[in-house]
Amino acid sequence: MRYELYYWPSIQGRGEFVRLALEEAGADYVDVARRPGQRGMPAMMKLLEGKRTAHPPYAPPFLKAGKLIIAQTAEILFYLGPRLNLAPRDEAGRLWAHQLQLTIADFVVEIHDTHHPIGSGLYYEQQRPAAKRRSREFWKSRVEKFLGYFEAVLDKNGGHYLIGRRLSYVDLSVFQIIEGLRYTFPRNMKRFEKRIPGLVTLRDRVAARPRIKAYLASPRRIAFNEWGIFRHYKELDR
């Protein structure tokens, strides 16, 4: 099956959590809006408009798998997980993986809102003082709560992977979170990482996997930039 991934072509964003899974699995997929030529974006917008779709997604990313259109990052991974051998196949295992992924999704919103606490319809420059305060609160009480939770889950599971005895899409997503936080808040993250030694080792383990390594070095990996979820603004990194 050739999967079609639909996501904004110039950012990692939420689509990146799906890309990492597809890449690790060596899946056959097309990143539709990034295809050469100008036809990808109109195709994506048409599906979002919903005139020809029974179940139009609310927003990208979404995945076309045969006739199915599946949206919401965590749901896409829930669907792909067992099919790509990146999640357990039994109901309890699938639900546990999904539960962790939904918690990552909650964290992603909070990371995004450090630079956009007032509204995503405004520029960062229009909400800088609020962004400073929110970033301070984020480091004071949120990072430790989220990452401390994942560190504990990893530890409870033996320290190698978050779920079971093999790599899952949740491990790939935690890799992406750490990469993103390093880019966004290099100073804060440097100080914080000693409190999550297990997750840092997991990050290294993921980065060393042959397919992930090749992907990260390829032009398919978009560089972090100031349009995505993870943005580096020096003044927010105190």
Q: Which residue has the tokens 């079971």?
A: 164
Question: Residues in the site for a copy of itself, rule: CB under 8 A?
Answer: 50, 54-58, 68, 70-72, 74-75, 79, 92, 95-96, 98-99, 102-103, 106, 109, 113, 117-119, 121-122, 127, 130, 133-134, 137-138, 140-142, 146, 149, 152-153, 156
Rounded Cα distance between 231 and 80, Å, is 28
Residues 6+ apart with CB under 8 A from 34: 9, 40
Q: What is the side-by-side strand order in the sheet with 3-6?
A: 29-31, 3-6, 62-65, 68-71
Rounded least distance, CB 208 to a copy of itself, Å: 27
Q: Are 206 and 156 in contact (CB under 8 A)?
A: no
**Nearest approach, Cβ of 38 to a copy of itself (angstroms)?**
26
DSSP assignments along 210-235, one per residue: HHHHHHHHSTTSPPP-TTSSS---GG
Q: Residue 30 pairs with which residues in a beta bridge?
A: 4
Name the residue nearer to a copy of itself (CB basis): 149 or 213.
Answer: 149
Residue with Cβ nearer a copy of itself (222 or 229): 229
- The answer to whether 41 touches 9, Cβ cutoff 8 Å, is yes
Q: Which of 113/179 has CB closer to a copy of itself?
A: 113
Q: How far is the CB of 73 from a copy of itself (least distance, A)?
A: 9
What 3-state DSSP class applies to 84? coil
Closer to a copy of itself at the Cβ: 122 or 207? 122
- Least distance from a copy of itself to the Cβ atom of residue 166, Å: 17
Nearer to a copy of itself, 55 or 190 (CB): 55
- Nearest approach in angstroms of CB 72 to a copy of itself is 4
- Secondary structure letter of residue 116 according to DSSP: -
CB of 34 to a copy of itself, least distance (A): 23
How far is it, in rounded angstroms, from Cα 235 to Cα 190? Answer: 16
Closer residue to a copy of itself in complex, CB, 75/193 = 75
What's the min distance (Å) between Cβ of 40 and a copy of itself? 22
Residue 83 · residue 24 · CB < 8 Å: no
End-to-end CA distance of the chain: 47
Nearer Cβ to a copy of itself (137/204): 137
